Amino acid sequence: AVIIALQQIPLVFGVTKAEGTHTISVAFETLSRALTEKIHIASISIAFATLTIKRLWPRIKKAAGIRIHLPASIVAITLVTTVTHFLSLDIDRIGELPRQLSFTDNFSIGDISPFSFAYAAIAIALLGAIESLLSARVADGMAHKEIDHEQRAHDPKKELMGQGLATIASACVGGLPATGAIARTSVNVHSGARTRLAAIVHALFLLAVVLFLAPIVSLIPTAALAGVLIGTSLRIANPQSVKEALQSTYKFRIVYVVTALAVVFIDLMWGVAIGILLEKILNKAR
């Protein structure tokens, strides 16, 4: 949740993202750059307006007696995009999207050594697997708490098998490795997703956007997307969830806090590795 929120700083302040690999250092450098440059009030206002609409929509929907299920994120982005378009605000937008699908079969690893190639491949595979399983675990908790207490938990083996097959298929046409992502997963669950069909519909919708709705989507302010994702991060790491975690056992609290800090200050893979190692050490000590 913290990583998702920090990654939105460039979009909220309308500045270029700083270079770097550590989320926290990139966030601070980007923020300092934003404060020294001209502050984009419009971008900040758009992100705040999107977040506000997203949070208030359930109450508005109930008060107005609207029975049609409209995800708060869609409502917020639609309203904000419409207003900013008619006001002709000078802000960053998604911009032109490709209107056709392109494939490539021109594969070459160039002068990369076999060791470097294998190291990169293994690192990407591990990162993708860890992120997907963490996303699935978080989605299980969210679905259990918000949608259905009888919701069946995910199957890690099926999750990784599906991801592996998807990555192979993607690679065959020059695409990127496939992985689950907590931001999109969280938005999906909050929008009422219950089954694996939601992921398929999500993919088909993105395909339809590329092929048919690119001109409309290109008008969406990037700050509006940042507002949606900040709202998602707030729901993931709400105070009640953090309080419940910190009220657990002494060992759990230590692992929880250290892992969270390592993920934010270093990266996801190191954070998970440090958390697992610390848990093993505490178990041995016990």
pLDDT band at 31 (very low <50, low <70, confident <90, very high): confident
* From 9-13, 44-48, 220-224, the region with the lowest mean pLDDT: 9-13
Contact status, residue 173 vs residue 158, Cβ threshold 8 Å? no
Whole-number Å distance between alpha carbons of 234 and 51: 10
At residue 133's C-alpha, the angle toward residues 130 and 137, to 5°, is 135
Residues 87 and 225 in one domain: yes
Q: Domain span at residue 274?
A: 239-286
- pLDDT by residue (tens digit) across 235-264? 877 788 788 878 888 888 899 999 989 988
Model confidence at 29: pLDDT above 60: yes
Residues 205 and 123 in one domain: yes
Residues 112 and 205 in one domain: yes
Whole-number Å distance between alpha carbons of 45 and 12: 9
Model confidence at 150: pLDDT above 70: no
Mean pLDDT score of the chain = 84
Record the pTM.
0.74
Residues 1 and 28 in one domain: yes
Residues 118 and 166 in one domain: yes
Residues 129 and 148 in one domain: yes
Average pLDDT over residues 180-194: 78
Residues 223 and 81 in one domain: yes
Give the residue from 201, 208, 165, 168 showing the smallest Cα distance to 184.
201
Average pLDDT over residues 97-112: 71
Residues 154 and 48 in one domain: no
pLDDT of residue 175: 83
Burial class (CB in 10 A: 0-12, 13-18, 19+), 234: middle
Residues 167 and 246 in one domain: no
- Alpha carbon of residue 240 to chain centroid: 21
* From 22-26, 60-64, 73-77, 86-90, the region with the lowest mean pLDDT: 22-26
* DSSP-based three-state secondary structure for 221: strand
* DSSP-based three-state secondary structure for 93: strand
* Cβ-based neighbours of 196, under 8 Å, separated by 6 or more: none
- pLDDT by residue (tens digit) across 193-234? 777 888 888 889 888 888 888 888 899 999 999 999 998 888
Both tokens of 134, joined, read 């963490």
Both tokens of 11, joined, read 């979009």
Residues 268 and 165 in one domain: no
Q: CA dist 253 to 36, 72, 142, 162, 175, Å?
A: 38, 34, 20, 33, 40
Residues 15 and 46 in one domain: yes
Q: How many folded domains does the chain comprise?
A: 3
* DSSP-based three-state secondary structure for 57: helix
pLDDT band at 161 (very low <50, low <70, confident <90, very high): very high
Residues 67 and 164 in one domain: no
* Cβ-based neighbours of 109, under 8 Å, separated by 6 or more: 117
pLDDT of residue 189: 81
pLDDT of residue 86: 92
